[in-house]
Structure 1
């Protein structure tokens, strides 16, 4: 039997799967089903909804759910890295889906958890995170773009978010609004993209990763019922989930760096005689990868650690991941030389994807500001 088909038949409940079996199943799906689509996802020809649901079948979106007040992000990050070895765009969508599940599983709203936790973690419901603007707001970079007012049974929300990813007409995403006339009072909720008062506007073409379901989102007096409220008082909720939000992004970086090392190894035989003069070699990145992976796995085992030292380590690691992604992809391009300058060679895609790792919220400059503020 095809191993991918077998993995689908054996998946019943994420709790019955070991982390290793989940990562193995995700790796198989990524290499067999996702790899042939990577170029078309990058160019925007395909949004891989079916593959995302297949990854949900394999347990990719459920391993990091909170159980008995604890959570472990290691398997989720390893699974995302396996996807990222093949396609950075899909690794980003994996982060979006994982983050949506992270919000839901940590909500104190029992009706919301009952409705969404299993559906999101299985991939039956797909979606993402609209926290780019709020995360910038929390560190003095932007102002909140969504405003809401209390009404019977919920809130009415208006405003617009410029970029939210892993969306479609039947998707959901988590985001935050500020209560009108109450500066600083914020509420986190799930937005339902099927709501007629929500408009998804296609974005202008990006440098890379156009098949990520990224849209501008307009809220025109959207009614948000109480059962879609993630956190009535969002500030402490954000503090609880912020480390997980950032740590999960390490999966994008680890997968990309690993493939960049593989690319350098692939050209060693024909070009090694001249590539040895380049200042950065595969061995350098293998050592760096090992350090990043070790630090990531240590931090990911304790995402609710509330100490200031832990939070600083999370932010510093995320900065290292972005810097290392760009460095590894740049080195891979130089090792490939002219052959890497062809559109048909994946190294140019990896270079474009690497810049995304460095600029997605929290971007390199925001991370440096955060560390400086600490």
Structure 2
């Protein structure tokens, strides 16, 4: 499914992307070169066709090689989805070609907003109207794909004058927008993940993605979470593939467990695709929340099974470097926003 050159590049750089020794500037360029950013987008808009379910599969394929690269892809592709769903057609025409070419990095910035929609936390960016647009203050504590050579970030903004919260695209060059140094993560360090501080940042009205944050977030949430599930799917599939290779030797007792996990995983993948394509998750977000939790658990179970199948070799640097990375990657899946704890709390409500 993936371009051979991209697959080889990801395999070569997977460890470096995780540890931060590989250039984070290169990730998006490699993804764009292989045209993975265009999947699920109409050819009339510069895409390669197919649908959102196909975009999930592409993201899963990347994640099977490197979760860092998949995390960057998720940020870029989700921001592209925001632009596609925006009623600001002039903004779409201005940004989309550069986003698809990988020349401009798109950062979702709406993790806080997704939690806000679920009643988990308040919006972290406030805006007051000016003659040309808005003056913004606040901050975003964890944003991925803030590439130093150029980015645009989506943010939900609380209207300090009492109006409806709205969604803005904020260019990285905006005066008053300050990017921190990259966050020191346990892994995924070449993902351009940082914090943003917003102090009297002036943004024009031509950067408005949507005038109603509630309506926009409800519409965008299926793509946000659905594409996010692709990371778990790819990681789980890769670990189960590793298990299968180990079982060719002396641990065939795990074969039944392998087959059961694979069967359950692919059943959930089919359910996810159906829900994304028939619009079910817009009306029944709880069903998508449950799937997101189940995929995270499937990834954790697959990595654990890989450990059992590989035995002591997994604990040796010489043999277990790929497994160690997948173990760290599996630890990230439950805490990416919205976290599993936040999703379970929302389901209880």
The question of a shared fold, defined as TM-score above 0.5 by the shorter chain, is answered with yes
- Cα offset for 1:271? 4.0
Report the count of equivalent residues: 342
The SS at the match of 1:281 is helix
1:34 corresponds to = 10
RMSD: 2.3
Question: What is the CA deviation profile of residues 304-360 of structure 1, one whole-angstrom value per residue up to 9, with x for unaligned ones?
Answer: 86433xx23222211111111111112212322221123452111111111212211
Q: 1:159-174 to 2 correspondence within 5 Å?
A: 159-169=138-148, 170-174=150-154
1:321 aligns with 2:295: yes
For the residues of structure 1 that align with 2:316 and 2:269, how far apart are their CA atoms?
A: 31
Structure 1 Cα separation of the partners of residues 322 and 175 of structure 2: 40
For 2:266, the equivalent position in structure 1 comes to 290
Unaligned runs of 5+ in 2: none
Aligned equivalents of 1:228 and 1:280: distance in 2?
Answer: 53
**TM-score, structure 2 normalization:** 0.91
- Find 1:335's aligned residue among 298, 303, 309: 309
Partner of 2:110: 131
Counterparts of 1:146-157 in structure 2 under 5 Å?
146-157=125-136
Superposition TM-score, scaled by structure 1 size: 0.85
Match of 2:37 among 61, 74, 85: 61
Q: Is the 8 A contact 1:157 1:219 kept in 2?
A: yes
SS of the aligned residue for 1:336 comes to helix
- 1: CA distance, partners of 2:113 / 2:8: 37
Matches of 1:286 and 1:304, distance apart in 2: 25
Q: Is the 8 A contact 1:72 1:302 kept in 2?
A: no
Deviation at 1:185, TM superposition (A): 2.4
CA distance in 1, matches of 2:10, 2:65: 7
Q: Does 1:217 align with 2:196?
A: yes
Q: Secondary structure, in 3 states, of the residue corresponding to 2:337?
A: coil
Within 2, Cα distance between the matches of 1:246 and 1:200? Answer: 25
- Structure-2 residue corresponding to 1:230: 209
CA gap of 1:247–1:101, structure 2 versus 1, over 3 A, is same
- Kindly state the Cα deviation for residue 91 of structure 1 after the two structures are TM-superposed: 0.8
Find the counterpart in structure 2 of residue 87 from structure 1. Answer: 66
TM-aligned CA deviation for residue 370 of structure 1: 2.3
- Decide whether the 8 Å contact of 1:66 with 1:105 is kept in 2: no
C-alpha distance after superposition, 1:89-108 (max 9, x if no partner)? 11111110110100011111
